[in-house]
Amino acid sequence: MSEPVFPGEAPDGLAIRVRGLRKSFGAKTVLDGVDLDIRRGEFFALLGPSGTGKTTLLRILAGLELPDAGTVLAARRRTTVYQEPRLIPARRVLANVTLGLPSSVREAGRRALAEVGLEGYGRAWPATLSGGEAQRVALARALVRDPEVLLLDEPFAALDALTRLQMQELVAELCARHRPAVVLVTHDVDEAVRLADRVVVLREGALAVDQAIDLPHPRDRDTPGFTAHRRLFLTHLGVTAAAH
Ligand SMILES: Nc1ncnc2c1ncn2[C@@H]1O[C@H](COP(=O)(O)OP(=O)(O)O)[C@@H](O)[C@H]1O
Ligand SMILES: [Mg+2]
């Protein structure tokens, strides 16, 4: 049987420490000995094709799922943003942002809305928002909780290309300002190289590459060094050179 999960905070300077993590669903082993340290304030990206266990790992880090074996130590204030905004339709935007928090945080909720570019949207209903706006509300809801660890599960995947770029920029900006440790789960190599300080590929249940991305921000495909990183990750994802 495993050691306890979340027996305490990660050691000094770390937001997350994972050792020997295993997780199976029935006969299928999804995570098979994952070891991972993430520093406080680090922007970390976890790359992997669909079905490799990225969401499972994130859910374990969030405390929503129990591993079969291994230890997870993590900073206490963790919050997740999903692919869908998951807003409550019957609550106005500000109430969604501050959901479950005391009324004293309403002002902080308004500030968080302003930070994501939605000043004055507090009384709007979720149904009146575009997909991008709804996802900004989800970001504000995370921000107002002042997370030490921000868990992002493909938060841009459902957005159109232009909105995705704008959201990536916004997340980069917010994270540079508030400095949570970030775990960004994505299958998009460009997104990972654009945003992260460090990228790891999840493959066959274990972490395959672990690469620091030491390029200046803002980054795009023309940033020197970008393409070299991109190629490396594509290769590790099993994409052949011809398709690069
Ligand atoms: N609750 C569950 N019960 C059974 N199988 C699951 C469950 N959650 C995930 N899986 C399986 O585990 C594998 C990894 O899933 P997931 O972590 O969602 O992958 P990813 O996020 O990388 O696409 C998939 O084969 C998925 O079907
Ligand atoms: Mg997933």
Enter the pTM of the model: 0.94
User: pLDDT tens digit string along 60-88?
Assistant: 999 999 999 999 999 999 999 999 999 99
2 band by pLDDT with thresholds 50, 70 and 90: very low
Ligand nearest to the CA of 56: 1
User: pLDDT tens digit string along 24-58?
Assistant: 999 999 999 999 999 999 999 999 999 999 999 99
pLDDT of residue 3: 45
Sign of CA dihedral 107, 109, 115, 117: negative
What residue segments make up the domains of the chain, in order of their start?
89-146
Q: Which of 21, 22, 23, 25 maximizes ligand 1 atoms within 8 Å of its Cβ, making it the mutation to test the pocket?
A: 25
pLDDT of residue 139: 98
Q: Is 237 in the pocket of ligand 1 (CB under 6 A)?
A: no
Q: Is 80 in the pocket of ligand 1 (CB under 6 A)?
A: no
| Over residues 191-195, mean pLDDT | 97
pLDDT of residue 1: 38
CA distance 20 to 10: 15
